[in-house]
Amino acid sequence: MHPTVPRVPPPLLQELGIFLLAVIIGRLGGVAATVLLGRWLGDGATGTPAIAVAMTCTGAAHAHFVHKQPWKRLVPKVGVGAPLAYGVMRLVHVLLGF
């Protein structure tokens, strides 16, 4: 009887799986931001901050899964990165006239 060798998916499928997992984690972060900010802001005002949090959480998940950075180092970066991303997004909206 031959020992079974685990089948490793092709690298492209591995990368796609990591990407999708990072996007799902980012989306969950955005939903959490919408729920938490919805308590203090109106429903129309939570969109842009939630997108900023989702993008930052997606980047942090990517850094964890691909670059092996520990979550403890990434949480403070999300705390700084999300407000920075929000500020940049607001600036772009002002410049484009939205």
Give the pLDDT confidence of 41-64 residue by residue, as tens digits: 877 788 888 999 999 999 999 999
**Distance (Å, whole) CA 66 – CA 80:** 21
82 within a domain of the structure (yes/no): yes
Amino acid at 2: H
3-state secondary structure of 45: helix
Q: How many domains does the chain have?
A: 1
- Residue 67: exposure state from Cβ atoms within 10 A (0-12, 13-18, ≥19): exposed
Q: What is the pLDDT of residue 1?
A: 59
Its pTM stands at 0.79
Q: Is residue 31 part of a domain?
A: yes
- The answer to whether residue 6 sits within a structural domain is no
**Does residue 9 fall inside a structural domain?**
no
Torsions phi, psi for 52 (to 5 deg): -60, -45
